[in-house]
Amino acid sequence: MLSRHHLPQPIRSYEPVSARHIEPERGICDRCAHDVFNSSLRLSLVNNRNTESVKHSYSSLALDVYASVLSGCRWCSTIGNAVLTCSELDCWMEDGDESESADGFDANMHLNGDVEDVQMPSPGKVVHLADEGMAEEDPSDATSSSESPGPHTIHLLDCTAKLDITIEFLKWRDSSVFNVVKVTAGVTTGGEDKCPIREMIGENAVAMTLEVMCTDTMDGIAVVPQRWDMVSAASFDKWMPRARAWLQICEEHHTSCATSGAFQPTRLIDLRDPRHPRLVIRSSSIKPVPYIALSYVWGRKQEYVLTQASLAEMLTGLDLTRLPRTLLDAIEATHHLGFEYLWIDAFCIIQDSPEDKARELPLMADTYRESSLCIVVASAAAAGDGFLKPPAPPRFFVDPFEVKVGDFDEPLALTFGYRAPVTA
């Protein structure tokens, strides 16, 4: 996944429909095998497995990357696609900024898909080239990126721009092995060369993150995951320790996440007895208590909610048999995470009271901001779906591809990819 203009960006695919000189034994070109995924990298990963990162740098000309893409090198294809994606996005952003005052063009709106007649190719769309290297449109007609933000093609890599590439294997989310790879590519172009791709250096360099796995071990030692890391929310003994560890790290090290301790929602659900939850009204004179806030999709209208008529009853207790699955899961997760109070809009805002809504809705930003933890249910399209369930098969923004590392006789196969966020 790319990081560009302060937003995650899918990597577009610009490589030909079919490469002409694929080398299935390694999946990479000779240059990558010699300069990048060699025995030295394999040895470095093993010898430095107890450190937090292993870094390797190399340089290449864009035209060499272009040639390797045509030969079927999966790594060079990934690098080339990332460079072209960033260059194209920069073209659109710059052109949008220049024309906004005259034409009302908003580049951010275009990038986010908020305008129906956007002409920018959608992320992930393949720019097809014929097997003989001929584009559907004559590449010689493609204008320089300084003249137009039109769609880039793979031919734009055929230039003398220099790529300074750094690959860093990292341990993400308290992993004991290297499970992500951060790739940074600085693109330097000579002013006289008129390279069609943008110069991208320093803070503007291409930045990409990939996940990595390997079913084998390196010299009998596992230094990367042996499968794609997936934690089932249906198994408390799998996700609960990890969630608690993340929460502890946040409380101890993320100062920007700390609550002010001065705000308290008007109402909370008391879960000190999770089998008999009840609504409580918190007085401003009472010391604020830690609580979890729930963010979820209602879906169809919920029938069992807080109303003026049900307020007294809910102060006595909530009817668990009438709660939708997502809310039941939230109560269970809150209890197992060690919290005693939960905020849910359906039960903490009087749904049929315009006066209460006028008072409570403006406080929702504070309600989420001041919560100790926010449960965001991204895997359920409706309140009845629930979220403590086995995960769906992963979807990938960057399709997994295999790269052989080390000696040709006994190469180690690393698989790189990047999964899409979980959605309903």
**pLDDT tens per residue across span 185-201:** 999 987 655 678 888 98
pLDDT at residue 408 in the model: 57
Q: Which residue has the tokens 């002010």?
A: 260
**pLDDT of the residue at 349:** 97
Measured CA to CA, the distance from residue 226 to residue 215 in angstroms comes to: 4
Segment 307-365, tens digit of pLDDT: 999 999 999 999 999 999 999 999 999 999 999 999 999 999 999 999 999 999 999 99
Structure tokens at 186: 């600085």
In degrees, rounded to 5, the angle at the alpha carbon of residue 50 between the alpha carbons of residues 167 and 214 is: 60
pLDDT given for residue 105 in this prediction = 27
Contacts 24+ apart (CB under 8 A), 254-257: none
Taking each helix axis from N to C end, the angle separating 62-71 and 74-103, rounded to the nearest 10 degrees, works out to 120
Q: Which of 48, 317, 314 is nearest to 170 (CA)?
A: 48
- Distance, C-alpha 340 to centroid of its chain: 31
Nearest Cα residue to 13 out of 158, 114, 129: 129
d(CA 342, CA 373): 10
State the pLDDT at residue 220: 78
pLDDT < 50 positions in the chain: 17-23, 97-149, 423-424
Report which of 339, 173, 172 is spatially closest to residue 246, judged by C-alpha positions: 173
CA distance 403 to 190: 32
Write down the pLDDT at residue 149: 43
